[in-house]
């Protein structure tokens, strides 16, 4: 949501009852989640007898479901394949007072940090990857020298020793 350079990224999940949950992420978290999900699907397609689509078009290009009420900001994410359900499991974990223990991600502990766990089909996962990549690419273009985002007025590039491009 918002204009490039001032956007907030959300992961929204809805269940069959119509309840929608929104959690906030950083742009890099969205990009990494899409990349890792794509790698996971490619690996499952090569190893399992499950039929995984090679690519999918985003089937949902609508704006986020309003109102967007942020439940929490994501500090860590987990990604797994559930072989019995033949589905991708994504877990987003909230930041807490204590550092997040890697063991707490994708576990069913009651006393852990707030978390959102979503199970989606391989086709929905491929559609998520396509939409996430589209959303990330719609931002400001990267500087060809330092890869930092370019503002319309340019930026102070560290590779140019502080000179404005």
Q: How many CB atoms lie within 10 A of CB 15?
A: 9
pLDDT interval class at 102 (50, 70, 90):
low
Most confident of the following: 60-64, 109-113, 119-123: 119-123
The closest of 147, 115, 136 to 32, measured between CA atoms, is 136
- For domain 9-160, the CATH class is alpha beta
Q: What is the pTM of this model?
A: 0.76
Q: How many CB atoms lie within 10 A of CB 123?
A: 14
Question: In what side-by-side order are the strands of the sheet with 87-94?
Answer: 9-14, 20-25, 70-82, 87-94, 115-120
Q: Note whether 46 and 39 are within 8 A (CB).
A: no
């Amino acid at each position: 949501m918002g204009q490039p350079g001032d956007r907030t990224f959300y992961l929204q999940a809805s269940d069959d009852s119509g309840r929608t949950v929104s959690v906030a992420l950083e742009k890099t978290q969205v990009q990494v989640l899409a990349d890792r999900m794509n790698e996971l699907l490619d690996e499952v397609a090569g190893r399992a007898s499950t039929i995984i689509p090679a690519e999918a078009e985003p089937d949902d290009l609508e704006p986020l479901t309003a109102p967007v009420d942020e439940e929490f900001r994501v500090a860590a994410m987990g990604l797994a394949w559930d072989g019995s359900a033949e589905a991708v499991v994504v877990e987003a974990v909230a930041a807490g007072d204590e550092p997040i223990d890697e063991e707490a991600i994708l576990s069913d502990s009651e006393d852990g940090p707030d978390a959102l766990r979503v199970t989606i089909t391989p086709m929905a996962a491929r559609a998520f990857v396509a939409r996430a990549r589209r959303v990330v690419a719609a931002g400001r273009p990267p500087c060809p020298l330092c890869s930092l985002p370019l503002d319309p007025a340019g930026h102070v590039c560290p590779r140019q020793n502080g000179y404005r491009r």
